Amino acid sequence: MKKQILAVAVAGAFAVPAFAAADTNVTLFGQLQTQVVHHSASGDSGFFNDGFRVHDGGAAGNFGDGANPNRIGVMINHDLGNGLTALAKIEQNVTTGDGFDSSARDVYVGLDGNFGRVLAGRMASPYVTAGKDPLNATFMQARTQGGRLPPGGGGLGGLGEGSYLDNGLAYSNSFGMVSLNVAAFVDNGDDSNTAFAGRLNFDLGPVDLYVAHNHADDYVDHPIGGQDFRASKIGADWRSGPFRLVGEVTDFKWEDAAGDTAADGNTYFLSGTYTMGRNDFVLNLGHARLKDDNNVDYAAVAVKHNFSNRVMAFAGVSYNSTDNSTLDSDSDVIADTGSLSFTGVGGGMRVSF
């Protein structure tokens, strides 16, 4: 009898705040992925250790747990009436090797209504369209292998196709066939060095056409340290029946700490997907053309099996090759090579909730 009374009391304690917050929707969400990949190298002068690795994201030849989809978070929507909704989101990176790490994803508050959506906090730049790659966040993804920014690896923070930026103020809205997403990321040390980003999407029926730009002069969170950065891209995402085709061209330039050009060039990305039942067959191609003749080529072929809309398994092959490359360890150059290439063969599984 005492146990029944205790159970009723506990249920009542939780029911009261739930009733009081009937206009609030709180969603716990998350995602985990692990891969088993055999990595091998050519042109590495024997410094790379070929073999199997277990990791979350990375690329062919890169078995780190960065650039992965793993996360856990909370999304809050509070109905304020009259078509106005208050938003809050807290999202944290996770790796299957180390658990929670020190870096956050989206952490923001905002308002959503007929006027559009306004957000303030830490968030991805409007420039980011990483999800247009059907192999994004696997070892076969383009953004770490020359198909998209950054060209052939190396961190660009939130200025490339990944990560997040602090101190953001963003606005987004749709106007018929046109969607607008713009943001400023304030440099708290000197607001004149604020970074800006924007994207326009055009809904043309079977085609989503988009243009985007990032501009960050003297921005403190520039990965090389307060120097100039710019990137512009145009892309198209076409879908018809079982077919999907994505193409994207990017022009970029950034400087090092001395003000000299660190990288200047273009990336080209093309992806084709054919869906048959629960299976997606994917072919990705990419090329980074750098003006110092250090070019990068990339290709991946994969099959994805969707057990449900929350559980997916994948397998495939990824390849990238870099001209005039150097292989380094802990920032010390240990091998000067001509063409350095990596191949990854493997598969993995991704579970969401």
Give me the CATH number covering residue 54: 2.40.160.10
Q: Is residue 179 part of a domain?
A: yes
Q: Is residue 12 part of a domain?
A: no
**27: number of Cβ within 10 Å:** 10
Q: Is residue 231 part of a domain?
A: yes
Q: Is residue 15 part of a domain?
A: no
By three-state DSSP, how is residue 112 classified? strand
Taking only the tens place, the pLDDT of each residue in 91-142 is 998 877 666 665 789 999 999 999 999 999 999 999 999 999 999 999 999 9
- For residue 53 the two structure tokens come to 């690795």
Of 10-14, 26-30, 172-176, the one with minimum mean pLDDT is: 10-14
What are the start-end ranges of the H helices in the chain? 2-20
Over residues 28-48, the mean pLDDT reads 91
- For residue 118 the two structure tokens come to 């306004």
By three-state DSSP, how is residue 4 classified? helix
Q: Which domain holds residue 230?
A: 24-352
Q: Is residue 6 part of a domain?
A: no
DSSP states of 215-277 as a string? EETT-TT-TTSS--EEEEEEEEEEEETTEEEEEEEEEEEEE-TTSSEEEEEEEEEEEEEEEET
Taking only the tens place, the pLDDT of each residue in 178-227 is 999 999 999 998 899 899 999 999 999 999 999 999 999 888 766 666 67
pTM given for the model: 0.86
Q: Which of 327, 325, 295, 301 is nearest to 314 (CA)?
A: 301
pLDDT value of position 224: 62
Q: Is residue 241 part of a domain?
A: yes
Residue in this structure with the two tokens 């991805």, named with its chain if needed: 124
Q: Are strands 165-175 and 116-123 parallel, antiparallel or unpaired?
A: antiparallel
Q: Is residue 204 part of a domain?
A: yes
E strands, 43-83, where?
51-55, 71-81
Q: Is residue 11 part of a domain?
A: no
Could you give the number of structural domains in the chain? Answer: 1
Taking only the tens place, the pLDDT of each residue in 247-275 is 999 999 988 777 788 788 999 999 999 99
